[in-house]
Amino acid sequence: MSKTIYLLVGGEATRLKPLSEGIPKALLTVKGTSIIDLILNNLEQAGFDQFKLICSIKHKEQWEQY
């Protein structure tokens, strides 16, 4: 049976500026891996196999490229 999770990824990361200038918080990297990849890997290990990302229109293009 498929397990789906919806993730809100619309954070502006204003407290992380200037690191986050023009980049959604979840696309920032830690040791070469994006935060969203770290989260998705953990969720996969927990048994989730479908992910729906809910983002703001401001960063839509960046998420489509991801």
Q: pLDDT digit of tens for each residue in the chain (66 aa)?
A: 899 999 999 877 788 888 778 888 899 999 999 999 999 999 999 999 999 999 988 888 888 898
Q: Are strands 50-54 and 4-8 parallel, antiparallel or unpaired?
A: parallel
CA dihedral 21, 25, 27, 33 (to 10 degrees): 110
Overall residue count recorded for the chain in this entry: 66
Query: In whole angstroms, what is the distance from residue 34 CA to residue 3 CA?
Result: 23
